[in-house]
Chain A
Amino acid sequence: MNLKIVVLAKQVPDTRNVGKDAMKADGTINRAALPAIFNPEDLNALEQALRLKDQYPGSTVTILTMGPGRAADIIREGLFRGADNGYLLTDRAFAGADTLATSYALATAIRKIKDFDIIIGGRQAIDGDTAQVGPQVAEKLGLPQITYAEEILGINNGRITVKRHIDGGVETVEGPLPIVITVNGSAAPCRPRNAKLVQKYKHAKTVTEKQQGNLDYTELYNKRDYLNLVEWSVTDVNGDTAQCGLSGSPTKVKTIQNIVFQAKESKTLPAADREIEDLIVELLANHTIG
């Protein structure tokens, strides 16, 4: 079985070690103070993809990331660990995207990739913590989804079995391919970078990076095509600019404030519309949302 796996990965500021200067006065993130890293749960997702590739030789793992030029690091990090190729969605028109515009852009890129069995990503990114992008991508592509995955148990007759993390335990579910899966941080950590792959791919660069950086190894780019990382613009993925970036983002930030996070017991609701409505009213009343 040759699976085609697409890993959704994001470059994020490392919010795990936030100092006083993490936010600027205008309420935006001070990216200079926070190192850019591979979103941790996306690494868990990459590991699940690589395990499938180990299990089914001939399968391919493709990294898809959206971000500024330097997000090409994410593709290289993926290649260093065993991914086969990657695409960087980068365009000024993508900038300032909320989850809706992000999932729109990713979905158009996945349509362009066309041939895939599994779309897999982390549950959420540590900068926004929304956990919305994965599910939105699934909806936009009309695919089934399994969230909070901890381990992919196997694939039989076009159906995938996944152990997922739920409150107070785990449940094992099954779904048809193609499918979108989001992976929880409790899944196996990602394997280290591989010495040979790092040496093989360390010169891999996007066109933009080649234009900016020194061209010591130009000769290599002609001989070794895998060193040329692909960048896609809005036009490349046939995107509608109005649905991308800031213009495609209904989310508006009102204010930003420092809060002390207080973890509380979770609340279990019966699966009835009435209960959900009551909860929304309650959350609006205490300003958790709205």
Chain B
Amino acid sequence: MANFYLDTPELRHHLNHPLMKRIVELKERGFKDKDEYDYAPVDFEDAMDSYDKVLEIVGEICGEIIAPNAEDVDHEGPAVANGRVTYASGTQKNLDAVTKAGLMGVAMPRRYGGLNFPTVPYIMAADIVSRSDAGFENLWGLQDCAETLYEFGNEDQKKRYITRVCQGETMSMDLTEPDAGSDLQSVMLKATYSEQDQCWYLNGVKRFITNGDADIHLVLARSEEGTHDGRGLSMFIYDKRNGGVNVRRIENKMGIKGSPTCELVFKNAKAELCGDRKLGLIKYVMALMNGARLGIAAQSTGLSQAAYNEALAYAKDRKQFGKAIIEFPAVAEMLSIMKAKLDASRTLLYETARYVDIYKALDDIAKERKLTPEERQEQKRYAKLADAFTPLAKGIGSEFANQNAYDCIQIHGGSGFMKDYACERIYRDARITSIYEGTTQLQVVAAIRYVTTGAYLARIKELEQQNVAPEFESLLSRLKAMGEKYAEAVTKVADSKDQELIDFTARKLVEMSAYLIMGHLLLQDASKNAIFANSAQVFTRFAEAEVEKNASFIARFSKDDLAYYRK
């Protein structure tokens, strides 16, 4: 019986972080739900035990159903006929299993039928699902959209729609258009209000919509006639039961083939406004994207895990020159770095998820009562950390997933190039993670301000003050030395006040920030749990070389050199 949660003890380590005490306290608010719902926890230990037990269900479904279906789903893929999408048969079985298991609406409040789980266990489920089939994670993970409905919809909308999501209906977020990809301000899908029918109608085309034939859609559309920028856009809810949207085609993709990517035609599709007019892009989509980015960070980590597992199993099994190839230093080194990158992505993922948990739970409490000054301060601190860490977790995590998928194929040698092993699917599936929900380049754009304002450095300084186990003291001093090189590089670039130079070196500076933070977090993990000891050692050495490389590049670079790079 394969269980993708129980066979990876790293997950339980991250679930049982000390900060969970505060998170559960904020999320369960005196455990008041226990008198109304028979499945609500009665105390902290009970809540943690519930997360653990539910993740065990996720692990079992992933190991026994979703992973075994992945290959067939990849081959069969979804189909479109008469404007409607049919999933691959394996995808439908996966959806039935997660629905029967009550794994839809995991993070939604119990009053709508959800499990009221914090982000940490929800993201952990996404991590596990992605390892079993990254394409399926896209369908399951779109329950994230319910979070946006919960944050910005009115009570009536929440009751009508979130309840349905918790019962297994799927969602989509319809943002991209042929001429509006990274630049969502150019969205043109038209929303017009009919005084006569007292409702909105949507007309236009959306492209690259994941799960575009979903039951419930969140749609970004232009409600303000004559406008051309983000301030003219609003968010709408389209219910498939009302009709008016057809799937014109589905894309033939390189990877995540089980997840239908649709071109949608809206023809007088009846829709309702979600939240306030004109805040569609500038407020709601931004919130939606941050949640989605954390989801992709989880997807990347799950893929990194899958790549590592496949590579490790093959390297133990494959014999050349009379021994298993894992015994050759060249292969063992690749595997060690893969594991270190995996553990580094994961520790940053859950650190970020905890920040998100605290500030979102406080946001939610603020809807009911005024926060105390201490709570307001806490909310502000964690919201800022979440904003700063999300692009790192997504940006670097997805790059690591791609690197691990590449190395996984390399370890398989010629066999890895054939279609016979899972590694080729993992390689294709991983490719999109550094592209969608904002490319790595856009994650860098989001992150660079925390480099130049010193936010990352401040956090690194805090981490440097934390205690580590005696055997890791030397690693800590190496990280501190790297921190100094990083600070020098940041100062040089920031002091130049040259925007072009800042943009040009941003990727390098953001990578350095991420490696330092990951290194410190891994040191904390290793100090508490021996399973991370090797990764802490390997990652610090990897990070040291990378930081050195980037620092030396920046130290020797002058803004006159930019001329050689201009196109």
Residue of B nearest to A194 (CB): B102
From B52-60, B334-342, B546-554, B558-566, give the one contacting chain A: B52-60
A30 CA to B449 CA, complexed, in Å: 63
B183 on the A face (CB < 8 A) = no
Alpha-carbon separation in the docked complex, A200 to B39 (Å): 4
Q: Is B392 an interface residue (CB 8 A)?
A: no
CB of A196 within 8 A of CB of B102, answer yes
Does the CB pair A193–B101 fall under 8 Å? Answer: yes
Nearest CB in chain B to that of A54: its residue: B100
Tell me if B97 and A192 are in contact (CB < 8 A): yes
Which of A197, A216, A217 has a CB less than 8 Å from the CB of B102?
A: A197
* A203-239 to B contact mask, C-beta < 8 Å, 1/0: 0000000000000110010001000000000000000
Give the size of the chain A interface in residues (CB under 8 angstroms): 15
Contact of B60 among A192, A196, A197, A216 (CB under 8 A): A192
Give min CB distance, B555 to chain A, whole Å. 53
Say if the beta carbon of B42 comes within 8 Å of chain A. yes
0 or 1 for each of A173-200: is its CB under 8 Å from B? (1 = yes) = 0000000000000000001111111111
Question: Nearest Cβ in chain B — how far from A228, in angstroms?
Answer: 14
The reply to whether the CB of B327 lies closer than 8 angstroms to some CB of chain A is no
Which residue of chain B lies nearest to A14 when distances are taken between CB atoms in the complex? B1
Set of chain B residues within 8 Å of A192, measured between Cβ atoms: 57, 60-61, 65, 97, 100-101
Q: Is the CB of A193 within 8 A of B39?
A: no
Interface size class of B (residues with CB under 8 A): 20 to 34
Asked if A111 is at the interface (CB within 8 A of a chain B CB), the reply is: no
Give A196 to B167 CA distance when docked, in angstroms: 12
Q: Beyond A191-B100, A202-B50, A202-B53, is A196–B42 a contact (Cβ under 8 Å)?
A: no
CA gap between A195 and B41 in the complex, in Å: 13
Residues B38 and A195 in contact, CB atoms below 8 Å apart: no
Beta-carbon contact of B38 and A198 below 8 Å:
no
Whether B276 is near chain A, meaning CB under 8 Å from some CB there, is no
Nearest to A82 among chain B residues (CB) is B100
The answer to whether A195 and B115 have CB atoms under 8 Å apart is: yes
Q: B103 near A: Cβ within 8 Å? A: yes
CB of B49 closer than 8 Å to a CB of A: yes
Docked complex: B54-75 residues within 8 A CB-CB of A: 54, 57, 60-61, 65
B102 close to A202 (CB less than 8 A): no
Q: For A196, list chain B residues within 8 Å (CB).
A: 39, 102, 115
A199 to B110, CA, bound (A): 13
Report which of B49, B65, B97, B101 forms a contact with A195, defined as CB distance below 8 A.
B101
Residues of B within 8 A of A200 (CB): 38-39
Who on chain B is nearest to A81 by CB? B100
A264 to chain B, nearest CB (A): 30
Task: Report A-chain residues with C-beta under 8 Å of the C-beta of B102.
Answer: 194-197
A13 → chain B, closest Cβ, in Å?
A: 14
Is there contact, CB below 8 Å, between B100 and A194? Answer: yes
B54 partner, pick from A199, A216, A217, beta carbons under 8 A: A199
Which chain A residue shows the least CB distance to B61? A192
Known: A193-B101, A194-B100, A217-B42. Contact between A199 and B60, CB under 8 A?
no
Binding site for B on A (CB under 8 A): 191-200, 202, 216-217, 220, 224
The 6 closest A-B pairs by CB, nearest first: A199-B39, A195-B102, A192-B101, A196-B39, A200-B39, A194-B102
